[in-house]
Amino acid sequence: LCCLGGGMAAPDPRQRDDLIRREASKQTGGRLPLTAAEQRLDAALLKMKQNETWRADFPPAMHFFRARPLIRTSPIFHLLQKMPKGGALHVHDFSMVDVEWLVKNATYRPHCYMCLTDKRSIRFVFSSRWPKALPRCSPWTLLENLRAKMVNTTDFDDSIMGNMTLFSDQDPEVLYPSQDVVWERFEQAFAALWGLVTYAPVFRDYYYQGLTQFYTDNVMYLELRALLPQTYELDGSTHDTAWTLKTYQEVTKQFTEDHPGFFGARIIFTIQRRVNASVMASTVEEAMKLQSDFPEVMAGFDMVGREDKGRPLWYFRDALSLPAERGVTLPFFFHAGETDLEGTEVDQNLLDALLFNTSRIGHGFALGRHPLAKELSRKRGVAVEVCPISNQVLKLVNDMRNHPAAALMSENHPLVISSDDPAMFGASGLSYDFYEAFVGFGGVRSNLGTLKKLAMNSIRYSSLNAKLQDKALAGWKERWDKFVSENSF
Amino acid sequence: LCCLGGGMAAPDPRQRDDLIRREASKQTGGRLPLTAAEQRLDAALLKMKQNETWRADFPPAMHFFRARPLIRTSPIFHLLQKMPKGGALHVHDFSMVDVEWLVKNATYRPHCYMCLTDKRSIRFVFSSRWPKALPRCSPWTLLENLRAKMVNTTDFDDSIMGNMTLFSDQDPEVLYPSQDVVWERFEQAFAALWGLVTYAPVFRDYYYQGLTQFYTDNVMYLELRALLPQTYELDGSTHDTAWTLKTYQEVTKQFTEDHPGFFGARIIFTIQRRVNASVMASTVEEAMKLQSDFPEVMAGFDMVGREDKGRPLWYFRDALSLPAERGVTLPFFFHAGETDLEGTEVDQNLLDALLFNTSRIGHGFALGRHPLAKELSRKRGVAVEVCPISNQVLKLVNDMRNHPAAALMSENHPLVISSDDPAMFGASGLSYDFYEAFVGFGGVRSNLGTLKKLAMNSIRYSSLNAKLQDKALAGWKERWDKFVSENSF
Ligand SMILES: [Zn+2]
Ligand SMILES: [Zn+2]
């Protein structure tokens, strides 16, 4: 920088090239050396991206619901699907599996009852006896009976599906005109599938199916934010939190045995941020106990729900200080800065998450407006979990090129790409979000090195210990090299 | 930063307060000491902003066309109108004056002819004889005759107005679905008013009226990007560039005499960026001559027109190197980074503008994605001219809270707020853009110190020499103190 012309000299083209190179080298993966094969693949990728950037209907400039069919025909997307992406570090328990599976599989099981609330949202329950009526819901219908009377169940099944996801073929701007409306529908959709996924036999299969979908998308590891709800059996008996956590552990073990190369999954126990201080305190106590009882599968603790409407982290400071006060380990993985409300109490969550020594930051959408929090996140290697499609559907950003992670990526800020609630948004696995990051806010400049670094980040910033990280990285590297050699000509 | 807890200690509330204060102090104006009276005004402002932030129809989250009536009722806006804002450093010649003045004043003058192009855009000419037909335009109509036949001219005048501005009561998303559409209409609107404003008598009055509107909005100084077009008289005779520049100088002098406290205006000579290299070379030659002939009024040189469709700066490198090669002074004030096209040749303009030693950066919308350019801009005090409403209307950003200047403002990056083409966007002066900056991307945290610093920046980063800056700053300070004492109770 010292040597830039003093105005009285025309710029030197070599100096210009040097500046361009230096700026490009600052981006995520900008300093990763690429092998000859990687360079060939990178050149092909650049061409594909240039073609994509100049089309009039540039997918990252559109709402994902409109962009999805275009993305599906993109050669870059097909490459991203095949690419070993490492781990998915920000995914929620009940939005892993596309809703089609829920309808075609779960709702076709025997003893499945459905009712319709006065807000036109559906509710389910499995029961060996006729279930007790729900308040503000129509009388229960046994789906077996109902479907038996239909000539064609396609429309019916489609309407169930539509009730359990935000994705729609209609104009998303009309359907979801404001953050309030889209969050309300988001919460209703979770309530709709709740009775299905908390039925113990479905719970187990749903999770296995979720792992399958990520595995198929070439994701080898998962950190799942999980509410660990009480699950139930057909006779109405229930299982506690420990059972749920143990089931995650068992199914993960089974899946890993069935799928060589899969590296496992860990659980971040979550609770709604709308609870009060005393509920939070007892939940933190419970989390500490789970962390010590299940150190292998428990990764830590977080809060979920709309940040703007929930309580800020600082409200819960006493509860969140418990582990430190007792000298007990409970890693935090706080959602923070998933907000537009700059300068409000909620917007303080970013700095507070860092004060509570969070291991990563969920979303961090507002980080660019917090220079001190940004500096801390960078210096302490607290990675930001960027979930582009989630931010767009939940109306924080329209055009992906304006996503604040563009700035983070241009300066190699510690970050990973994740998908938050893919089934809710009509996505699956990580590839759609990788597409938005790579083609959208990555710009033409982001390259194969960027993708490689993002995949490596997802292992490096995982909750795995150093030894397991090395092992995971070695496994990933093997698959990466295979991917490169199969796709570079 | 050194002392942040190691995870095994609950955060200290005093340390937290300290971090919050340190982060706030990093913002634009964050370190300006405020007098007791300023602190009282600041407290009142904070209350107003909190009220504004929690309303469901938060103006900065909307398109400006919808937000304008809400902004007009905002007490913050009324305060901003009264506030001495310093200088407007990024304003274009033919969008200074609201179109109502053009219709009610210019088109009511005698000898005014109008025709309608096949794209339904209007064209004007003043002429003592019946003017020659324009290609692809209807036959000319003499407005005096046409209006004489009308019972009521209101609808007619309104339709002329609508043709010369982008502003509309209709849904802007429907009217301008893409950047291509809005830029096409933008260029047609300029073509529509061209024949009015290049008529020498109107030209003079238009500029005087433009200064009046900025003065009324408590702007005391202007740097005008001006095409310096050939102007014409009723008999068809024309005036050259030097006449136009001299007229700017004379009218400015007159206006300054008529309006004590007004500090003057300087001209940044501009040319369309779609020209070829040889036209650019001769224009740069002309600019160098004007700069040496009119050193007082000429501030420097720039290019205008849609950056994405025009030629990049580097294409013009030979022409732009002429001043340096000859050892002649010609300050540059380049538009750069008014684009979404990250990583393309056009997106290179930011770095190239800095390589050519630009004095300021027009828009710099993409600066956040260029860490090296950002660093250079900061270190060399090359201020970014942020024009929020322009960026929104021309579809670079939807929700103002996501404007990339939010990050710049949070870290006191050298910047000024300006209005680009207020009349085109239905704005006027600087107050609407100050509103969007202060309430929108400034967030709740930005305060009276921020506003004070923005006003001071507009003098500090002007093209005035040090002595004149001191004088302007002293004049501004006097008005500022008066403003504070009149509005803090
Ligand atoms: Zn989440
Ligand atoms: Zn401009």
Give the Å distance between the CA of A67 and the centre of ligand 1: 22
Q: Are A360 and B462 in contact (CB under 8 A)?
A: no
Extract the residue ranges of chain A whose pLDDT is less than 50. Answer: 1-3, 5-6
* Average pLDDT rounded to a whole number, residues B448-469: 98
Instruction: Determine the distance in angstroms separating the CA of A391 from the nearest CA of chain B, rounded to an integer.
Output: 12
Residue A233 annotated as catalytic: no
Q: What is the residue type of A358?
A: T
Q: Poorest-confidence range of B169-173, B415-419, B434-438?
A: B169-173
- CA dist., res. B92 & res. B100, Å (int): 18
Q: What is the CA radius of gyration of chain A?
A: 23
The beta-carbon neighbor of A1 closest among B53, B376, B399 is: B376
* Average pLDDT rounded to a whole number, residues B376-394: 98
Chain A partners within 8 Å of B379 (Cβ): 1
Residue B413 annotated as catalytic: no
Chain B partners within 8 Å of A6 (Cβ): 357
Give the Å distance between the CA of A457 and the centre of ligand 2: 40
Torsions phi, psi for A398 (to 5 deg): -95, -70
Q: Which residues are within 8 A (CB) of A278 and not within 5 positions of it... i.e. 6 or more apart?
A: none
SS (H, E, C) chain B: CCCCCCCCCCCCHHHHHHHHHHHHHCCCCCCCCCCHHHHHHHHHHHHHHHHHHCCCCCHHHCCHHHHHHHHHCCHHHHHHHHCCCCEEEEEEHHHCCCHHHHHHCHHHCCCEEEEEECCCCEEEEECCCCCCCCCCECCCEEHHHHHHHCCCCHHHHHHHHHHCCCCCCCCHHHHCCCHHHHHHHHHHHHHHHHHHHCEHHHHHHHHHHHHHHHHHCCCCEEEEEECCCCEECCCCCEECHHHHHHHHHHHHHHHHHHCCCCCEEEEEEEEECCCCHHHHHHHHHHHHHHHHHCCCCEEEEEEECCCCCCCCHHHHHHHHHHHHHHCCCCCECCEECCCCCCCCCHHHHHHHHHHCCCCEEEECCCHHHCHHHHHHHHHCCCEEEECHHHHHHCCCCCCHHHCCHHHHHHCCCCEEECCECHHHHCCCCCHHHHHHHHHHHCCCCCCHHHHHHHHHHHHHCCCCCHHHHHHHHHHHHHHHHHHHHHHCC
**B11 vs A317: CB contact, 8 Å cut-off?**
yes
- Determine contact: A450 vs chain B, CB below 8 A: no
Chain B partners within 8 Å of A63 (Cβ): none
- Determine contact: B11 vs chain A, CB below 8 A: yes
- Determine contact: B2 vs chain A, CB below 8 A: no
* Average pLDDT rounded to a whole number, residues B334-348: 89
Q: Poorest-confidence range of A122-131, B104-113, B297-306, B343-352?
A: B343-352
Q: Which of residues 15-34 of B touch A (CB under 8 A)?
A: 15-16, 19-20, 22-23, 26
DSSP bridge partners of A267: A224, A298
Q: What is the value of pTM for the model shown? A: 0.95
**B11 vs A375: CB contact, 8 Å cut-off?**
no
**How far is C-alpha A418 from the geometric centre of its chain's CA atoms?**
4
pLDDT, chain B, mean: 95
The beta-carbon neighbor of B371 closest among A26, A368, A444 is: A26
pLDDT in tens, A19-49: 999 999 999 999 999 999 999 999 999 999 9
Give the Å distance between the CA of B294 and the centre of ligand 1: 60
Q: Is B80 exposed, middle or buried (0-12, 13-18, 19+ CB in 10 A)?
A: buried
SS3 state at A270: strand
- CA dist., res. B326 & res. A18, Å (int): 26
pLDDT in tens, B134-175: 999 999 999 999 999 999 999 999 999 999 999 999 999 999
- Determine contact: B42 vs chain A, CB below 8 A: no
- Determine contact: A379 vs chain B, CB below 8 A: yes
**A321 vs B10: CB contact, 8 Å cut-off?**
yes
For residue B361, give the ligand nearest its CA.
2
- What is the per-residue pLDDT for A415? 98
- CA dist., res. B316 & res. B335, Å (int): 14
Q: Which of B38, B52, B223, B338 is catalytic?
A: B338
- What is the per-residue pLDDT for B2? 44
A438: closest chain B residue by CA: B342
Q: Which residues are within 8 A (CB) of A373 and not within 5 positions of it... i.e. 6 or more apart?
A: A337, A350, A351, A354, A367, B23
- CA dist., res. A422 & res. A84, Å (int): 18
Q: Which of residues 178-237 of A touch B (CB under 8 A)?
A: 180
- What is the per-residue pLDDT for B4? 53
Chain B partners within 8 Å of A401 (Cβ): 340, 342
Q: Which of A63, A90, A335, A363 is catalytic?
A: A363
A323: closest chain B residue by CA: B8
Chain B partners within 8 Å of A341 (Cβ): 53, 443-444
Q: Comparing C-alpha atoms, which of A417, A463, A91 is closest to residue A270?
A: A91
Does B8 have pLDDT greater than 70? no
Q: Which residues are within 8 A (CB) of A80 and not within 5 positions of it... i.e. 6 or more apart?
A: A431, A434, A435, A438, A451
* Average pLDDT rounded to a whole number, residues B76-103: 98
Q: What is the residue type of B237?
A: S
**B406 vs A369: CB contact, 8 Å cut-off?**
yes
Is this complex's ipTM strictly greater than 0.85?
yes
Does B1 have pLDDT greater than 50? no
- CA dist., res. A373 & res. B16, Å (int): 12
Q: Is B69 exposed, middle or buried (0-12, 13-18, 19+ CB in 10 A)?
A: exposed
- Determine contact: B370 vs chain A, CB below 8 A: yes
pLDDT in tens, A422-458: 999 999 999 999 999 999 999 999 999 999 999 999 9
A177: closest chain B residue by CA: B62
First CA to last CA distance, chain B: 39
A441: closest chain B residue by CA: B342
- Determine contact: A446 vs chain B, CB below 8 A: yes
Within 10 A of B310 (CB to CB), how many other CB atoms are there?
18
Chain B partners within 8 Å of A319 (Cβ): none
- Determine contact: A175 vs chain B, CB below 8 A: no
Instruction: Determine the distance in angstroms separating the CA of A87 from the nearest CA of chain B, rounded to an integer.
Output: 25
- CA dist., res. A414 & res. B13, Å (int): 27
- Determine contact: B81 vs chain A, CB below 8 A: no
Unique residue bearing structure tokens 């109509």: B141
Give the Å distance between the CA of B429 and the centre of ligand 2: 14
- CA dist., res. A270 & res. A252, Å (int): 19
Q: Are B22 and A374 in contact (CB under 8 A)?
A: no
DSSP bridge partners of A270: A302
Torsions phi, psi for B299 (to 5 deg): -100, -30
- Determine contact: B4 vs chain A, CB below 8 A: yes
Q: Which residues are within 8 A (CB) of A50 and not within 5 positions of it... i.e. 6 or more apart?
A: A444
Does B454 have pLDDT greater than 80? yes
B447: closest chain A residue by CA: A343
Question: Quick one: DSSP state of residue A12?
Answer: P
- What is the per-residue pLDDT for B489? 79
Question: Two tokens at B116?
Answer: 């309608």
Unique residue bearing structure tokens 């046409």: B146
**How far is C-alpha B380 from the geometric centre of its chain's CA atoms?**
22
DSSP bridge partners of B116: B122
Dihedral in degrees, nearest 10, Cα atoms B41, B42, B45, B51: -130
Q: What is the residue type of A134?
A: L
- What is the per-residue pLDDT for A3? 46
- Determine contact: A345 vs chain B, CB below 8 A: no
* Average pLDDT rounded to a whole number, residues B355-376: 97
- CA dist., res. B32 & res. B451, Å (int): 10
Q: Is A110 exposed, middle or buried (0-12, 13-18, 19+ CB in 10 A)?
A: exposed
